[in-house]
């Protein structure tokens, strides 16, 4: 379905980003992956994409918490791939604390990566997409882009910001072939959430699986985690022709979290 398309997925050395990169590659898209981690493990993932799906796959390491680096990253990715058709703004981090205890440095880091990087990446990709009259910008927001939870001021503010930015991107490009939508996942058991599960287990003196169940019970009525692969499927749909008139929306995959 996406044969010959070029896709850039930020924060794709792990979790949701990696599954989205693999889902796009499975449909024939060439991909640029990005993020931190062990060099050998990243090379294994990159080579695996080429081997498993017969596409071109590149790794461009860049710290997307820095605006100029994010813009240069998109330009480097365009050079490697020869163009950009799909941009998935996925990289994100988390920190939990009461507002008055929230370290300023953590607030700045979360806003920089979870929100400003979406702005910089989008700004760098749009001229290429507008020129060719086709593009898909897919922002990985969160259920926390639609509703709030305590202790997550920076994350909730950033993700609500991403939802707003998604709408502006959609409006400014309506009718020119470029769409922009946000995917809003509930709990997905990635390293980002595993840390929170372990913190809860420690705080409550319960085992990790009991903490995972409690986390689901609190927010996600299905009592099941969303899988990275399900989010890959959603991204493929948003990149498809079927979604050509879908723009400026949020797509919830959250087991019912935001239904109540």
Taking alpha carbons only, the member of 192, 187, 165, 188 closest to residue 87 is 165
How far, in Å, CA of 91 to CA of 158, rounded?
12
Interaction residues for ligand NAD, span 142-181 (CB under 6 A)? 142
C-beta closer to ligand NAD: residue 96 or 142: 142
Judged by CB under 6 A, does residue 63 bind ligand NAD? yes
- Kindly tell me the burial class for residue 214, based on how many C-beta atoms sit within 10 Å of its own C-beta (0-12, 13-18, 19 or more): middle
Q: Which stretch binds ligand NAD (CB under 6 A): 28-36, 74-82, 123-131, 201-209?
A: 28-36
Judged by CB under 6 A, does residue 14 bind ligand NAD? yes
Strand-pair category, 86-89 with 178-185: unpaired
C-alpha dihedral sign at 170, 193, 77, 83: negative
C-beta closer to ligand NAD: residue 35 or 232: 35
Q: Which stretch binds ligand NAD (CB under 6 A): 170-178, 182-190, 207-215, 243-251?
A: 182-190
Interaction residues for ligand NAD, span 82-101 (CB under 6 A)? 90-93
Q: Which stretch binds ligand NAD (CB under 6 A): 8-16, 51-59, 235-243, 244-252?
A: 8-16
Return the residue of 23, 42, 64, 200 that touches ligand NAD, per CB under 6 A: 64
Interaction residues for ligand NAD, span 107-136 (CB under 6 A)? 113-114
In the annotation, is 58 catalytic?
Answer: no
Question: Rounded to 5 degrees, what are φ and ψ at 122?
Answer: -65, -45
- Specify whether the CB–CB gap between 228 and 18 falls below 8 A: yes
**Helices marked H in 174-259:** 191-204, 208-219, 228-239
Which one from 58, 73, 107, 155 is the annotated catalytic residue? Answer: 155
- Within 10 Å of residue 25's Cβ, how many Cβ atoms? 25
C-beta closer to ligand NAD: residue 75 or 130: 75
- In the block, tokens 């991107």 appear at 169
Return the residue of 60, 87, 88, 140 that touches ligand NAD, per CB under 6 A: 140
Question: Rounded to 5 degrees, what are φ and ψ at 75?
Answer: -65, -40
- Apex 19 CA angle, 122 and 36, nearest 5: 65
Catalytic residues: 155
**Contacting positions for ligand NAD (CB under 6 A):** 11-17, 34-37, 63-65, 90-93, 113-114, 140, 142, 185, 187-188, 190-193
């Amino acid at each position: 379905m996406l044969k010959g398309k070029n896709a850039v997925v930020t924060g794709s050395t792990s979790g949701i980003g990696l599954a989205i990169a693999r889902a796009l590659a499975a449909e024939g898209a060439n991909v640029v992956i990005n993020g931190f981690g062990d060099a050998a493990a990243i090379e294994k993932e990159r080579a695996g994409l080429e081997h498993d799906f017969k596409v071109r796959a590149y790794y461009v390491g860049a710290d997307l918490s820095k605006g100029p680096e994010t813009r240069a990253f998109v330009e480097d990715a365009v050079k490697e791939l020869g163009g950009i058709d799909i941009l998935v703004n996925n990289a994100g981090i988390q920190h939990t604390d009461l507002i008055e205890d929230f370290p300023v440095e953590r607030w700045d880091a979360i806003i920089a990566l979870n929100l400003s990087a979406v702005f910089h990446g989008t700004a760098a990709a749009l001229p290429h997409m507008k020129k060719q009259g086709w593009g898909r910008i897919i922002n990985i927001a969160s259920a926390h882009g639609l509703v709030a939870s305590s202790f997550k001021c920076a994350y909730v503010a950033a993700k609500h910001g991403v939802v707003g930015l998604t709408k502006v991107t959609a409006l400014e490009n309506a009718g020119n072939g470029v769409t922009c939508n946000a995917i809003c996942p509930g709990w997905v058991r990635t390293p980002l959430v595993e840390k929170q599960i372990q913190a809860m287990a420690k705080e409550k003196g319960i085992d990790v699986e009991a903490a995972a169940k409690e986390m689901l019970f609190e927010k996600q009525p299905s009592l099941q985690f969303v899988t990275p692969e399900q989010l890959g499927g959603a991204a493929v749909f948003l990149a498809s022709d079927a979604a050509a008139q879908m723009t400026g929306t949020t797509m919830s995959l959250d087991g019912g979290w935001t239904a109540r």
